[in-house]
Structure 1
Amino acid sequence: MWHFHQRLQPFTAISFDLDDTLYDNAPVIQRAEQLLADHIATAWPSVSDLDAHAWRKLRDAVAAEDAELASDMTALRLATLTRGLTERGISLHKAKALASEGMEVFLHARNDVLIAPEVHTLLAELATRYPLVAVSNGNADIYRLGLGDYFERAFHPGEGRRGKPYSDLFVAAGAHLQLAQPMHLLHVGDHPVSDVQGALRYGAQAIWFAPKAPPVEMTRLPHATIEDLHALRHLLT
């Protein structure tokens, strides 16, 4: 099912968020965070009382202190690990090394995702008609996810680029796609702020993927809301 809020204008490219748009990310992250906590506890027993829940609370506290850092999930998680370890008396040098090592454990698990066949079918069909890019604040790897054949490129925070809802990633995507105007990009994502407001702020068109989302008050409405990716297929193919 879908709902139009304003008329879609012609577009020449599509960008997709990844996490919670093309797959359910919550159980993936929960497992990855548990494996990360177990790894840190094994490598440094003095912090073994910091379980996945404790690390999550610390991450939220670190994110609340810095909005730009909060939009870059890799930098945020590294900062969280480093702080948690240094607060337990571990040297900064050692803490950074352990954090980097832990991130590799986390990234391996967070990219262990089974993508539904219908998602592959949708992206394969769309890729024959439009250039596709991924625009994500997370650290999923399109190649490790098995989606690299569909996307020209993936854009993530880092190297001076802030995450959504800042426009940096959309600007980079637009430059790569050589868009004549920002409105020629159609962005599809699940987050009402990062994806919808972020895309609209840049000047793109936005489709909100909201399969289970309650009503949300938005300063600006997306062009359309969809409840499943089948609806997107009907809209765009």
Structure 2
Amino acid sequence: MHFYRSIDCIKAITFDLDDTLYDNSMIVDKAEEEMIKNLQKYEQFQNLTLDLYFQEKSLVLSINPEVYHDVIVWRIDTIKSLLNRTSIPVSQHPQIIDDAVDCFNVWRHKMVIP
């Protein structure tokens, strides 16, 4: 656990319930699949697969191990890294990243907790 600032007075304790009260792995898998489909609508990503995405994700982690603690930043950095390997103009990167992350989040929240 990392603390990025000093703690004065604890006012609340929260719990991340993913993988605690329910298994969310199938939901995350589906969200990643849909995010890849979203990226594949760009010609430069037509051949992008989950395997290639995970290879890039591993590369991003090897360059910046601290990203492991923030899956959102890790996902964004992975997409940025993939974009940097394409001919897509840098000016379009923010919109593509936003669209991909939005797609992931839509599918990530399509779940029913028993």
Normalised to the residue count of structure 1, the TM-score between the two structures is: 0.41
Within a 5 Å distance, the mapping from 1:139-150 to structure 2 comes to: none
Q: Match for 1:73 among 50, 71, 74?
A: 71
Alignment-mate amino acid for residue 33 of structure 1: E
Within a 5 Å distance, the mapping from 1:149-168 to structure 2 comes to: none
Deviation at 1:13, TM superposition (A): 6.1
Asked if the contact 1:81/1:95 (under 8 Å) is kept, the reply is: no
Q: Which residue of 1 aligns with 2:28?
A: 29
Which runs of 4 or more aligned residues in structure 1 lie more than 6 Å from their structure 2 counterparts after TM superposition?
Answer: none
Deviation at 1:79, TM superposition (A): 1.0
Q: Which residue of 1 aligns with 2:7?
A: none
Q: Which residue of 2 aligns with 1:57?
A: 55
Distance 2:91 2:69 in 1: 25
| SS in structure 1 at match of 2:21 | coil
Q: Match for 1:82 among 80, 83, 86?
A: 80
Alignment-mate amino acid for residue 47 of structure 1: F
Distance 1:114 1:81 in 2: 28
Deviation at 1:68, TM superposition (A): 2.3
Q: Which residue of 2 aligns with 1:106?
A: 104
Deviation string, structure 1 residues 2-56 (Cα, Å, up to 9, x no partner) = xxxxxxxxxx9653222211321211111001101111101x0221111122112
| SS in structure 2 at match of 1:36 | helix
Alignment-mate amino acid for residue 71 of structure 1: H
| SS in structure 1 at match of 2:14 | strand
Alpha-carbon RMSD across the aligned residues, in angstroms, is 1.8
Asked if the contact 1:35/1:105 (under 8 Å) is kept, the reply is: yes
Q: Which has the bigger relative contact order, CA under 8 A and spacing at least 6?
A: 2
Structure with greater strand percent: 1
Percent identical pairs in the alignment equals: 24
Aligned pair 1:40/2:39, yes or no?
yes
Asked if the contact 2:44/2:88 (under 8 Å) is kept, the reply is: no
- Number of paired residues? 104
Distance 2:101 2:12 in 1: 32
Deviation string, structure 1 residues 160-189 (Cα, Å, up to 9, x no partner) = xxxxxxxxxxxxxxxxxxxxxxxxxxxxxx
Asked if the contact 1:59/1:80 (under 8 Å) is kept, the reply is: yes
Alignment-mate amino acid for residue 17 of structure 1: D
| SS in structure 1 at match of 2:23 | coil
User: Gapped runs of 5+ residues in structure 2?
Assistant: 1-10
Asked if the contact 1:82/1:92 (under 8 Å) is kept, the reply is: no
Asked if the contact 1:63/1:70 (under 8 Å) is kept, the reply is: yes
Distance 1:75 1:110 in 2: 16
